[in-house]
């Protein structure tokens, strides 16, 4: 088996047993990036020199018998995580030249675990998008079909893992931005509980919704990364003071007798027939494994999309106000006065989708409209939270589709924002409630991957990973890969 076909766990074992070195492994991935990235446009920055230096340091640690299972394993970071000395662009012209002066906590912790940074991945601008088409650096292409989207906003991270250009990558999930690209690219995508992973150094879109997570091949790989990323952080007041579990150690817990809630509202109009059939087959598979399937209703969940598109733009309007052309970020040429500096710097620096959300957010927060829109949305958010609480009083986990369709064609929805927003109809609820959720591959429709979503109660990551692992022990969907010509060489 080729190096890029090994999982993170397999690479970690191989490195510790000296079957290959981290430098050899890193050179292999850098060669694949050089060969395959032009077709995918998935990396914004490749940190080749740094990667080889980090790999050499990892080899020295391993030779001394030091380090852990992640030491020497390469990874890619979504370009929303500040990385000391490396471009951190958020996929925007606004930050196209911004070199971060410090590391995000996620970057810091994975570096401390000995992982090797290959580069920073392309993304929807400021994480605003469901298709990775809003990036200033151009759209990312899906390795399964280069004419299709990889999903967003973590589409670059999903594409590099699916194409074998990196064994694992970080992502962020504000309304489905890890799980949806995981589904469209045939990966395991984990969004932890809000507050489980520090947001320090993760450039904010919507602060009450954003959460860092993982795009990986398997539940085991996701468990290994989460254990290294998670934990309290005094630099992030929203990060929970709670011990970190050994997620990998809990993967083999039995699921016989597990009560699985099937979300009724996820199986109505809008779900593409082939996707629905693949998800239903997966549910039948869990029944055969001894789980009990129970239909549950979350009556307020269909209001997730309109609620999200009030709350998230309001928070983005506030967070992005800092990009004014004065302190950092894009600055227009020869401003006539302060007003011109603000207007042209922001007008030139932000793309159409970011401007749309800033304007929406500013409107719903304005005098006379706050009560009618923002306050009302927060009240509906509370109702959605209550629906989830009632459901988890009856069942252990919830299941349904991750995305209503497989990957769609590039450009198919860019002229219709509402249709684009509806791609997140099954994922947004977990963000509004701050719940952990994972997407795992469960089939192919027309040669394109389909994802099954599993949602848990707060801090149920260990259970979600065990459920995903049980599914992946019985099936090989997570082992399927795009056609080799798309994945590049060597």
In the annotation, is 154 catalytic?
no
| Sheet hosting strand 448-455, strand order edge to edge | 43-46, 116-121, 74-78, 169-172, 212-216, 188-191, 437-445, 448-455, 397-401, 259-263, 292-296
Task: Give the residue from 243, 217, 213 showing the smallest Cα distance to 229.
Answer: 213
Q: Which residue has the tokens 């589904």?
A: 183
Q: Which residue is catalytic, options 22, 78, 413, 439?
A: 78
**Which ranges of 374-460 does DSSP label H, i.e. alpha helix?**
376-392, 417-421, 428-433
Reported as half-sphere exposure (CB side, CA atoms, 13 A), residue 245 has a value of: 16
In the annotation, is 177 catalytic?
yes
Residue 336: how many CB atoms within 10 A of its CB? 9
Alpha-carbon distance 41 to 115, whole Å? 23
Pairing of strands 259-263, 188-191: unpaired
Task: Give the residue from 2, 170, 7, 151 showing the smallest Cα distance to 83.
Answer: 170
Alpha-carbon distance 344 to 337, whole Å? 11
**What's 217's DSSP letter?**
S
- Read off the tokens for 345: 């710097």
- Read off the tokens for 292: 């009990």
Longest dimension (CA), the chain: 70
Alpha-carbon distance 101 to 105, whole Å? 13
3-class secondary-structure state, position 104: coil
In the annotation, is 376 catalytic?
no
Query: Residues 6 or more apart from 171 whose CB is under 8 A from it?
Result: 78, 154, 157, 158, 177, 178, 181, 189, 212, 213, 214, 215
The sign one gets for the Cα dihedral 294, 443, 412, 182 is positive
Burial class (CB in 10 A: 0-12, 13-18, 19+), 222: buried
Q: Which residue has the tokens 């191989």?
A: 14
- Contact indicator for 22, 480 with CB cutoff of 8 Å: no
**C-alpha torsion angle, residues 251, 256, 258, 260 (rounded to 10):** 100
Q: What are phi and psi of 413, to 5 degrees?
A: -125, 5
Q: Which residue is catalytic, options 131, 135, 153, 403?
A: 153
Alpha-carbon distance 381 to 300, whole Å? 9
Q: Which residue is catalytic, options 135, 177, 304, 439?
A: 177
C-alpha 53, offset from chain centre: 27
The residues that are catalytic are 78, 153, 177
């Amino acid at each position: 088996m080729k190096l890029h076909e090994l999982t993170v766990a397999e690479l970690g074992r191989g490195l510790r047993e000296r079957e290959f070195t981290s430098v050899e492994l890193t050179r292999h991935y850098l060669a694949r990036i050089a060969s395959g990235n032009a077709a995918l446009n998935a990396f914004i920055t490749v940190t080749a020199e740094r990667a080889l230096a980090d790999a050499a340091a990892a080899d020295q640690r391993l030779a001394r018998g030091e380090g852990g299972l992640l030491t020497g394993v390469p990874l890619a970071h979504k370009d929303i995580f500040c990385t000391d000395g490396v471009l951190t662009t958020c996929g925007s012209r606004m930050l196209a030249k911004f070199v971060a002066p410090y590391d995000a906590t996620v970057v810091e912790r994975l570096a401390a675990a000995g992982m090797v940074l290959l580069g920073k991945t392309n993304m929807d601008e400021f994480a605003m998008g469901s298709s990775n088409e809003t990036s200033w650096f151009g759209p990312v292409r899906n390795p399964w079909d280069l004419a299709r989207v990889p999903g967003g906003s973590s589409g670059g991270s999903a594409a590099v893992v699916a194409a074998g250009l990196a064994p694992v990558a970080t992502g962020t999930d504000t309304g489905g931005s890890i799980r949806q690209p995981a589904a469209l690219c045939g990966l395991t995508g984990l969004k932890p509980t809000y507050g489980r992973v520090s947001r320090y150094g993760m450039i904010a879109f919507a602060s009450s919704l954003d959460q860092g997570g993982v795009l990986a091949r398997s539940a085991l790989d996701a468990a290994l990364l989460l254990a290294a990323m998670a934990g309290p952080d005094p630099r992030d007041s929203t990060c929970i003071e709670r011990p970190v579990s050994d997620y990998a150690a809990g993967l083999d817990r039995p699921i016989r007798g597990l009560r699985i809630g099937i979300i009724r509202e996820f199986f109505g109009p809008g779900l593409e027939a082939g996707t629905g059939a693949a998800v239903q087959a997966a549910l039948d598979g869990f029944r055969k494994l001894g789980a009990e399937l129970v239909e549950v209703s979350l009556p307020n969940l269909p209001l997730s999309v309109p609620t999200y598109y009030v709350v998230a733009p309001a928070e983005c309007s506030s967070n992005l106000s800092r990009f004014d052309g004065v302190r950092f970020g894009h600055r227009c040429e020869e401003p006539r006065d302060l007003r011109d500096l603000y207007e042209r710097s922001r007008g030139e620096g932000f793309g159409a989708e970011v401007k749309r959300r800033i304007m929406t957010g500013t409107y719903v927060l304005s005098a006379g409209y706050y009560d009618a829109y923002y306050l009302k949305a927060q009240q509906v958010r509370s109702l959605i939270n209550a629906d989830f609480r009632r459901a988890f009083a009856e069942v252990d986990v919830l299941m349904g589709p991750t995305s209503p369709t497989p990957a769609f064609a590039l450009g198919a929805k860019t002229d219709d924002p509402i249709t684009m927003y509806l791609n997140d109809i099954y994922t947004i609820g977990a963000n509004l409630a701050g719940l952990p959720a994972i997407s795992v591959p469960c089939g192919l429709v027309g040669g394109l991957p389909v994802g099954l979503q599993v949602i848990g109660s707060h801090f149920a990551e260990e259970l979600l990973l065990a459920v995903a692992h049980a599914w992946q022990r019985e099936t090989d969907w997570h082992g399927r890969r795009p056609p080799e010509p798309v994945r590049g060489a060597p």
